[in-house]
């Protein structure tokens, strides 16, 4: 069978060009609908996806010739990895590619919130020159908690080194090795932190990790940052926490519905309510979406895939 690649995402052309040098024909269909994907997937040996293509049992059963699934980025919650393995389909991703971008974005949102930059900018453009009303607070002296210490958690910690902050880390599966952070229990994160940032994968264990119970357990009223996955945080519980001043702010880049008009989990009015708070900094899932990361994500993924291709070729 002819070696063919299907790319269902808008990604850097690097991956397209490199596949062609390996002798593959490449089809790029970023707007492909599910029905068409199910109909044509049997024609391909490699599938390249991002967040929004679901590789489930139904798709895998239709993919008679599929050998490799490549996920541009980190989270694999949209891929049934276990079933792929059962069907002898290799799965690879590239979480190393956008860790720095996410770390910088977390810091940018946090400094924006602490210094009222969005609020003051909007007011000034309306002719309001308000100084006392926009008196900020400094990051120095704060205690920052990082839950999940993979690529993005580590990157955020590295960005924080330029500030006089204490960095506490909780990772159930991978304790931090860096000497500028301190491994602690989840209870200590809740008891000590002015800022808590989530960097965990999404799965059954982390579904609604941050909810009313979590917030109520926090001794301080922390700023919550979520750049991991939307459903790691319960949106309605966060709104309640903001209304009741149980948290001092919320920086968010990921949502239970993407786009937020999707209406799968919440109606759009829920997000309108969330975005109405002055102490909410929200961005549309762009934390890892930089010019540099677009290339790095595909370069790293392609390096891994080429190794798998060489193995497959050796078996032919």
- Average pLDDT of the residues of the chain: 95
Max CA pair span of the chain: 72
What is residue 310's predicted lDDT score, i.e. its pLDDT?
A: 77
Indicate whether 297 and 274 sit together in one domain.
no
Decide if 161 is inside a domain.
yes
In this predicted structure, what is the pLDDT of residue 51? Answer: 84
Separation between Cα atoms, residue 199 and residue 103, nearest integer Å: 10
Is 287 part of a structural domain of the chain?
A: no
Whether 213 and 229 map to the same domain: the answer is yes
- 3-class SS at 1? coil
| Mean pLDDT value across residues 41-61 | 95
Any domain includes 189: yes
Task: Report yes or no on 155 lying in a domain.
Answer: yes
Are both 103 and 237 inside the same structural domain?
A: yes
Mean of pLDDT values over 5-13: 91
Other C-beta atoms closer than 10 Å to the C-beta of 236 total: 15
* Domain enclosing residue 229, as ranges: 99-282
Into how many domains does the chain fold?
A: 2
Regarding whether 213 and 168 lie in a shared domain, the answer is yes
CATH code of the domain in which 158 resides: 3.40.50.720
Return the exposure string of 129-162: e unless at least 16 CB atoms fall within 10 Å of the residue's CB, then b: eeeeebeeeebeebbbbbbbbbbbbbbbbbbbee
pLDDT of res. 33:
94
Which residue is associated with the tokens 């032919």? Answer: 316
pLDDT at 236 over 60: yes
Q: What is the pLDDT of residue 314?
A: 64
* Whole-number pLDDT of residue 134: 97
Taking only the tens place, the pLDDT of each residue in 86-108 is 999 999 999 999 999 999 999 99
User: Does the pLDDT at position 128 exceed 80?
Assistant: yes
Which pLDDT belongs to residue 84?
96
**Does the pLDDT at position 75 exceed 90?**
no
Q: Are 200 and 178 in contact (CB under 8 A)?
A: no
105 and 250 part of one domain: yes
Q: Are residues 103 and 143 located together in one domain of the fold?
A: yes
**Same domain assignment for residues 120 and 247:** yes
* Residue 11 banded pLDDT, cuts 50, 70, 90: confident
Q: Are 12 and 301 in contact (CB under 8 A)?
A: no
For the segment 179-210, what is each residue's pLDDT rounded down to a tens digit?
Answer: 999 999 999 999 999 999 999 999 999 999 99
Please give the average per-residue pLDDT across 225-245, as a whole number: 97
60 and 113 in one domain? no
Tell me: pLDDT of 315 over 90.
no
Give a yes or no: residue 28 inside a domain: yes
HSE-up of residue 312 (Cα within 13 Å, Cβ side):
17
The three-class DSSP label of residue 97 is helix
In a domain, 299, yes or no: yes
Same-domain check for residues 82 and 44: yes
Tell me which H or E stretch contains 118: helix 117-125
Tell me: do 35 and 169 sit in the same domain.
no
Note whether residue 86 is domain-resident.
yes
Q: Can you list the positions of beta strands (E) in the chain? A: 4-7, 25-28, 46-49, 68-71, 90-93, 143-147, 166-170, 182-183, 195-198, 223-226, 249-252, 280-282
Q: Are residues 112 and 224 in the same domain?
A: yes
Domain contains 77? yes
- Mean pLDDT along residues 80-90: 96
Q: In the prediction, which pLDDT does 2 show?
A: 72
Predicted confidence (pLDDT) at residue 316 exceeds the cutoff of 70: no
Instruction: Give CA–CA dist 59/76, Å, rounded.
Output: 15
**Structure pTM?**
0.91
Task: Give tens-digit pLDDT for 138-161.
Answer: 999 999 999 999 999 999 999 999
pLDDT tens-digit readout, 262-306:
999 999 999 999 999 999 999 999 999 999 999 999 999 999 999
Same domain, 199 and 156: yes
């Amino acid at each position: 069978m002819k070696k063919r690649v299907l790319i269902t995402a808008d990604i850097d052309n690097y991956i397209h060009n490199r596949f062609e040098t390996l002798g593959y024909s490449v089809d790029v269909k970023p707007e492909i609908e599910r029905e068409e994907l199910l109909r044509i997937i049997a024609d391909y040996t490699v599938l390249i996806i991002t967040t929004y293509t679901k590789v489930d049992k139904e798709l895998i059963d239709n993919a008679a010739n599929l050998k490799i699934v490549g996920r541009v980025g980190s989270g694999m919650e949209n891929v049934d990895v276990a079933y792929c393995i059962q069907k002898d389909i290799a799965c690879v991703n590239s979480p190393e590619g956008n860790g720095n971008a996410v770390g910088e974005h977390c810091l940018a949102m946090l400094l924006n919130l602490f210094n009222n930059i969005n609020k003051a900018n909007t007011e000034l453009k309306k002719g309001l020159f308000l100084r006392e009303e926009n008196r900020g607070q400094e990051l120095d002296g704060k205690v920052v908690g990082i839950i999940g210490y993979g690529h993005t958690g580590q990157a955020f910690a590295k960005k924080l080194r330029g500030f006089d902050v204490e960095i506490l880390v909780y990772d159930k599966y991978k304790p931090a090795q860096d000497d500028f952070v301190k491994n602690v229990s989840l209870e200590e994160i809740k008891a000590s932190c002015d800022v808590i940032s989530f960097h965990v994968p999404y799965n059954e264990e982390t579904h609604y990790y941050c909810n009313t119970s979590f917030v109520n357990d926090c001794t301080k009223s922390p700023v919550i940052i979520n750049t991991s996955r939307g459903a790691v945080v319960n949106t309605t519980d966060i709104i309640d926490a903001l209304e009741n001043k149980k948290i001092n702010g919320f920086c968010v880049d990921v949502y239970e519905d993407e786009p937020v008009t999707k209406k799968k989990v919440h109606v759009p009015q829920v997000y309108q309510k969330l975005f109405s708070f002055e102490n909410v900094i929200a961005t549309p899932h762009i934390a890892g979406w930089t010019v540099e990361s677009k290339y790095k994500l595909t370069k790293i993924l392609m390096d891994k895939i080429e190794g798998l291709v060489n193995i497959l070729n050796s078996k032919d």
